[in-house]
Amino acid sequence: MKAEFTEQALLKGLANNDSKAIETLYKDNFNMVQAFILNNNGSYDDARDIFQEAMIALYEKAKSDSFVLTSKINTYVYSICRRLWLKRLQQIGRYSNQIDSFEETVAVEEDIEIHEKRNAEFAIMDRALNSLGEPCKSLLEGYYVKKMDMQNLAKEFGYTNADNAKNQKYKCLIRLKKLFFAQYNIGE
Amino acid sequence: MEDSILIQAIERYLEGTMLPAEKAYFEELRKNTPEIDQMVVEHNMFLHQMDGYSDQRNMKHALHDIHTKLLERGDINEGGELSTKGRVIQLYNKYKKVTAIAASVGGIIALVISGLTLYLSPASNNQIQELKREVESVKRNQQYQGAKLKEVDSKLPKDAILTGGGSGFLIDAKGYIITNAHVLKGSSFANVINNNHDEFKAKIIYRDEVRDLAILKIDDEDYTALKSLPYGFRKSDLDLGEEVFTLGYPRNDITYNKGDLSAKTGFNGDSTRWQLEMNANPGNSGGPVLDKNGEVIGVLSTREKQAEGVAFAIKSKNIFKLLDEVKDTDTSVQKIKIVSHSSMKGVERSTQIKQMENCVFLVQAFNKK
C-alpha cells in the first residue's frame, strides 16, 4: 500500500477533522503504542485510553496557529504516550523502576503541560454543563457541540418557534457562563 | 431579559453578523462602557472555550468510532482472534521478489563493471591506484543498492505492523539467535538482517519473558550456516572495571560501542544483570556484550533513564540456565550447543569486530494484521 498522505497533509487533515486522515493516523500509530503499553504493565484498555489522549493532544497542537512539529509523527505520538503512561503509572504507584526500552523519543513536556491545562479547563466546562440540568444542558449541547441549527433544535425540544428556543438558549448560556467562571477563576 | 438581549448582541457582534450601522453603534457603546467591553472580552473567551470543548468532545467521539471500526476490520487487535491472517506474509513475499530482483540486477551490474575494469585496465603500476578507485566506486554502488533494498524493507513493515526491533546474535552457528524477549513482544514472527543487508526469515522458537530472553532460529534457504562462531561464552565471574564492548543496530548499520563493567548487579540490585558504563542507544537491545578476549558476558537489554551512560546486560549465565531448563521439554532447543572457547583471544579489537560482525543481526519483529 502506498502512503496516501504526506505527514504534513495528514496533520492538516487531522486539524480539519478529516475522517480519512484521522483513520490513517490511527492505523499507522496505534499498534506501536499498544505494544509499548502492554510491555509496561498496561492493559488493552490502558493502551486505547493513552493513545486517544495523545491523538487529542496532537489534534490540538495541529489546530493551533503556532503549530510546528519538529519530529516525525510516530516519534511524537510515541513520546507523548510514553510520558502520559509513565505519569499514570506513577500516580497509581506501580512505577517501580526507571528502566526504559530503547526507542527514539523527543521532548514533549511542554506540550503535555499545555494539553493538561486545556484538559483542566474543559473539565470545568464539562462540570458546569452537567450541573445545569435539563433542558438547558441538551439545548446548549445541541447548539454548540452537535452544531444543530435553531430551527431543528426548536423542533426537537418542542418549542413553538426558533426565536423562543433562541431566547431559552441565551438564558441557559448566561447560567452556564456563571457556573463556568465561578470555577474557572478559582482555578486561575 | 436585559442580560440575554445584551448577550445576544455580543454573540452576533462576535460572529460578525451585525449590520454595519448596528456594528458601529455597538462599537461606540463598547468604547464608552467598560463593563460592556469587559463582557465582550469575557464572552469571546468563553465561546472560545466552548469551541475547544466541543471540538475535543467530537474528536473523542470520532476516535472512539474509528477504534471500533479498525478493530472490526482487523487493522488493530486487542488480543482477540486475528481476522485477516496471512496478509502480512503475502505482502512480505511480494516485496521479497522485488528485492531479490533488485539485488540480482545490482549484483550483475557490479560483476560486469568490475569485470570490464579488470579487462580494460593496463597492468602498469600507475594505473593500479586508479583501478582501485574504480572498484571502490562499484562497491559504493552496491552499497547504494543495499540502501535501496532497505528502503523497500522499511516500507513493508510499516503496513505489516512492525511491532519492535533490536539486535540479536548467534549462539550456535547453525542459525540460533538470541535476543531480548521485549524486542519480540507482541509479535508473531521476525526477520533478521545481517551487516551485509542480507535478510533472513526467522522463527521464534522460545521466549522467556521473566529473563527477558528469546531464541530465534533462522529458517531461510538463503542462509548458509557458519562453521563455527568466533566468540565463546564466558562462565566465570567478572571483575569491576573490566573493559567490555558491544555490537548492535541502533541504526541500519552495525555499530560498535565500548565501556566498562561498573557493577556486578543490575538496577535495584538485580543479580541476573551486569551494570555497564556504556552509551547504549535504542536498537542496541539484544546485542552481545563481550569482554576483551571476545567472550560473551551478557545480552544488552536496558539502560537507566535517569542517568547518562548506564546500561544493563543480562548475564550470559542466564542463557545457559535457560537452555538447561528447557532442554528436557523443548526439542527445538536441544540441538543448540554453546561453545565457551573464543578464538578471538589476544586479537586486536578491529579484527575481533570484523570476525564477528556477521554474527550480529538486526532483528525486526512483526505482527500479523
Q: pLDDT grade, residue B83 (50/70/90)?
A: very low
User: Do A30 and B70 lie within an 8 Å CB cutoff?
Assistant: yes
Residue A141's closest chain B neighbor by CA? Answer: B54
Let me know whether A103 and A11 are in one domain: yes
Residue A40's closest chain B neighbor by CA? Answer: B182
ipTM of predicted complex: 0.84
Distance CA B206, CA B216 (A): 7
- In this prediction, residue B315 carries a pLDDT of 92
User: Do A30 and B76 lie within an 8 Å CB cutoff?
Assistant: yes
Let me know whether A98 and A175 are in one domain: no
Residue A98's closest chain B neighbor by CA? Answer: B305
The closest alpha carbon to B16, from B46, B54, B44, belongs to: B44
Let me know whether A79 and A135 are in one domain: no
* Stretch among A1-10, B238-247, B255-264 having the lowest mean pLDDT: A1-10
Let me know whether A66 and A154 are in one domain: no
The mean pLDDT value for B180-184 works out to 86
User: Is A163 within the bounds of a domain?
Assistant: yes
Let me know whether A11 and A101 are in one domain: yes
Q: What is the pLDDT of residues B2-51, one digit of tens each?
A: 677 788 888 888 888 888 888 888 888 888 888 888 888 888 888 888 88
Residue B284 has pLDDT above 80, yes or no: yes
User: Do B161 and A31 lie within an 8 Å CB cutoff?
Assistant: yes
| All cell numbers assigned to A78 | 510515541
The CATH number covering residue A61 comes to 1.10.1740.10
Q: pLDDT grade, residue B87 (50/70/90)?
A: low
Q: Which of B14, B45, B48, B53 to mutate to test the interface with A (most CBs of A within 10 A)?
A: B53
* Stretch among A46-50, B83-87, B183-187, B236-240 having the lowest mean pLDDT: B83-87
Facing residue for A26 by CB, picked from B66, B182, B305: B66
Q: pLDDT grade, residue A96 (50/70/90)?
A: low
User: Do A177 and B304 lie within an 8 Å CB cutoff?
Assistant: no
Let me know whether A93 and A15 are in one domain: yes
User: Do A52 and B302 lie within an 8 Å CB cutoff?
Assistant: no
Residue B285's closest chain A neighbor by CA? Answer: A102
User: Is A56 within the bounds of a domain?
Assistant: yes
Let me know whether A71 and A136 are in one domain: no
Q: Among A51, A74, A108, identify where a domain stops.
A: A108
User: Do B306 and A55 lie within an 8 Å CB cutoff?
Assistant: no
Instruction: Count helices and strands (H / E) in chain A.
Output: 8, 1
Let me know whether A33 and A95 are in one domain: yes
Chain A residues within 8 A of B207 when measuring between CB atoms: none
Of chain A, the percentage scoring pLDDT greater than 90 comes to 7
Q: How far is A113 from chain B (nearest CA, A)?
A: 17
More confident residue, B313 or B38: B313
Facing residue for A102 by CB, picked from B58, B267, B282: B282
Residue B277 has pLDDT above 50, yes or no: yes
Facing residue for A144 by CB, picked from B54, B267, B280: B54
- In this prediction, residue B178 carries a pLDDT of 94
Let me know whether A159 and A80 are in one domain: no
User: Do B49 and A122 lie within an 8 Å CB cutoff?
Assistant: yes
User: Do B62 and A39 lie within an 8 Å CB cutoff?
Assistant: no
User: Is A125 within the bounds of a domain?
Assistant: no
User: Is A118 within the bounds of a domain?
Assistant: no
CATH superfamily of B232-356: Trypsin-like serine proteases (2.40.10.10)
User: Is A113 within the bounds of a domain?
Assistant: no
User: Is A120 within the bounds of a domain?
Assistant: no
User: Do B268 and A97 lie within an 8 Å CB cutoff?
Assistant: yes
Q: Which of B17, B42, B55, B156 to mutate to test the interface with A (most CBs of A within 10 A)?
A: B55
What b/e readout covers B152-179, taking b as 16+ CB neighbours within 10 angstroms? ebeebbebbbbbbbbbbbbbbeebbbbb
Chain B residues within 8 A of A39 when measuring between CB atoms: 182, 185-186
Q: How far is B342 from chain A (nearest CA, A)?
A: 29
Let me know whether A99 and A146 are in one domain: no
Q: How far is A188 from chain B (nearest CA, A)?
A: 14
Catalytic site residues of B?
182, 212, 285
Return the HEC string of chain B: CHHHHHHHHHHHHHHCCCCHHHHHHHHHHHHHCHHHHHHHHHHHHHHHHHHHHHHHHHHHHHHHHHHHHHHHHCCCCCCCCCCCCCHHHHHHHHHHHHHHHHHHHHHHHHHHHHHHHHHHCCCCHHHHHHHHHHHHHHHHHHHHHHHHHHHHHHHHHHHHCEEEEEEEEEEECCCEEEECHHHHCCCCEEEEECCCCCEEEEEEEEEECCCCEEEEEECCCCCCCCCCCCCEECCCCCCCCCEEEEEECCCCCCEEEEEEEEECCCHHHCCCEEEEECCCCCCCCCCEEEECCCEEEEEEEEEECCCCCEEEEEECHHHHHHHHHHHCCCHHHHCCCCCCCCCCCCCCHHHHHHHHHHHEEEEEEECCC
Q: How far is B353 from chain A (nearest CA, A)?
A: 23
Let me know whether A20 and A67 are in one domain: yes
The mean pLDDT value for B54-61 works out to 90
Residue B284's closest chain A neighbor by CA? Answer: A102
Chain B residues within 8 A of A28 when measuring between CB atoms: 158
User: Is A104 within the bounds of a domain?
Assistant: yes
> Domain residue spans in chain B?
2-73, 84-160, 232-356
Residue-range definition of the domain harbouring residue A32: 7-108
User: Is A115 within the bounds of a domain?
Assistant: no
Task: Answer for the pair B296, B288: CB distance below 8 angstroms, yes or no.
Answer: yes
